[in-house]
Amino acid sequence: MRRSGAVFVGRMATVITSECINCGACEPECPNTAIYQGGVEWQAPDGAMHAAISNDIFYIVPEKCTECVGFHDHEACAAVCPVDCCVPDPNIPETHDVLLARARALHPTDAIPDDAPSRFKKGGAEAPKANGHDAVAPVAAPAVTAAKPAAAAPAAKPAAAPAAKPVVAAPPQRVVGTRGRVEKAVPRPATPRPVPSFAGELPIDFEKLLAELGPSRRRSSSRLGSLGFALLAVGQGILGALPAGSKQRIAAAVNDRRFFDPAMATAGNVFLNLVLYPIVCAGFAVASGHVGLFTLNVHPWIFLGLALAGVEAGFRLRESFLHGAPLAETPLRGAIYGPLLLPLGGFVRWLAGPRGATSTVGFDGFSGGREVFDEKLERERRYGSVYRLEDRHDAYILRVEFPRVLPPSTVADELGLARDMPDYDYELSLRDRTFVVHGRVADAQVRKLTAVAPAFPSEFTTRVPLRDPVSGFRHRYQDKTLEVILPKAAD
């Protein structure tokens, strides 16, 4: 029976109503690969792909549905459905013979006998002419043109209505797959989204503008400042002993790899230690009175220093030495005495001055058990708070991270939402030395989740102040990251 208010998807003997909760229980039960997840293209018996019949809920392909005739004495999808939304369509009755012929066409290599399982023959009864909907949509019997005299013959049997010959299409090719299995729903490939344009955007390609800017260059307004940067470049080998995080912070503050490069500083420190450690070992031996400075007995101490420097270098750059990783991809660990130089590193950052801004996240996230964990970083992305502004001498480069995944929620499971976050819509504007990023959840189903999920606003606005005036901006959006170049206005 048709349910009150139910909306049917497709026109066939069995349909899935709009009451579907996208649990997916029915899909693996279908022997004909006739059930697909909403939004997933379906494969015809000849191998051709067709657009999804429904984008929101699971659906049944009419050309592939046999109501399980030939395989089960019941409809397998209806048997496992927890909300009883797999129901027959009373407007489209199909006979046992039609469904059996379709099953044989879909499985040409399988021998499906006439007495194969069928819900029409459940309990050994004779197969009816239609699929059980005769009371709703009866098949009209042919009219009797003349009645025979009553005395001519004893109680003649009623004339049997001639069975309509089923119309069977030409047997299609075999469906890709095996009996009893279905193609698993996979997300359809994302179509490239059109790149929007906003007021104040420069008429130049992003990559071309980035190439024209070239590497960052630090300019000094005085000779004393230039001398300081020159000394920094010469002393990179000393600062290379600092821990990796300190070197990265110095590089961000200097913002010019001509004067400080973490990889170059680390390599310089490794070679410096090949000289420093032997001197320290020999000096210790001489100061303690073990050997004389100008005797052969000092040589073992020198070799000891070289060995210590070599072992430490191998440990610091073990990914490069053992696995051949490029130095740029190797963790740039510090020397054993690196923590002693932390005050010097802080002094260098203070002299270089602040360059740009970077958002920070205080802790990892929130846990509600082993299977429920919401990263703090992902929460901050949903508020537009994860960004980095690079302040160069010629431009600002802003990178804003958009949300990657949906927050854990039972509502998301009920809506059948995938774990990956759909792309946001966004608007960009430049107002009084402030760059404004406004993001908005575009997917209608995900917006439903924002109404009930905690720490999940449907929109966010990020305002980034700029110290220097800019001439405009150019942006690109890829891999959930918004990148914006803001060239500084000429003086």
The answer to whether position 295 is within a domain reads: yes
Confidence of residue 221 (pLDDT cuts 50, 70, 90): low
| 90, 174: one domain | yes
pLDDT of residue 411: 80
The answer to whether position 415 is within a domain reads: yes
Domain boundary among 305, 322, 352: 352
The answer to whether position 152 is within a domain reads: no
- Strand arrangement of the beta sheet that strand 395-401 belongs to: 357-358, 387-391, 395-401, 481-487, 474-478
| 299, 379: one domain | no
pLDDT of residue 487: 92
Confidence of residue 108 (pLDDT cuts 50, 70, 90): confident
| 38, 183: one domain | yes
| 9, 61: one domain | yes
Confidence of residue 278 (pLDDT cuts 50, 70, 90): very high
pLDDT of residue 125: 47
Q: Rounded to an integer, what distance in angstroms lies between the CA atom of residue 302 and that of residue 465?
A: 55
The answer to whether position 147 is within a domain reads: no
pLDDT of residue 122: 61
pLDDT at 427 over 70: yes
The answer to whether position 194 is within a domain reads: no
* pTM tops 0.85: no
Domain boundary among 331, 352, 373: 352
| 329, 374: one domain | no
Flag the least confident range among 216-220, 230-234, 359-363, 483-487.
Answer: 359-363
| 19, 116: one domain | yes
pLDDT in tens, 371-410: 444 578 888 899 999 998 988 888 899 999 999 988 887 8
| 315, 371: one domain | no
The answer to whether position 431 is within a domain reads: yes
Query: How many folded domains does the chain comprise?
Result: 3
pLDDT of residue 72: 87
The answer to whether position 200 is within a domain reads: no
Comparing 471 with 324, the larger pLDDT belongs to: 471
Please state, rounded to an integer, the average pLDDT across all residues of the chain: 78
| 421, 274: one domain | no
Domain boundary among 335, 352, 369: 352
Q: What is the CATH number of the domain that holds 211?
A: 2.60.40.790
| 325, 392: one domain | no
pLDDT in tens, 49-72: 888 888 888 888 888 888 888 888
| 320, 398: one domain | no
| 45, 106: one domain | yes
pLDDT in tens, 92-101: 778 888 888 9
Supply the range of the domain harboring residue 20: 1-140+168-189
| 210, 235: one domain | no
Flag the least confident range among 152-156, 163-167, 355-359, 374-378.
Answer: 152-156
- To which residue do tokens 């690196």 refer? 338
Comparing 94 with 172, the larger pLDDT belongs to: 94
- Compute φ and ψ for 427, nearest 5 degrees: -130, 140
Distance of CA 149 to the CA centre of its chain: 79
The answer to whether position 156 is within a domain reads: no
pLDDT in tens, 115-145: 888 877 765 445 444 444 443 334 344 444 3
Q: What is the CATH number of the domain that holds 36?
A: 3.30.70.20
Flag the least confident range among 145-149, 370-374, 445-449.
Answer: 145-149
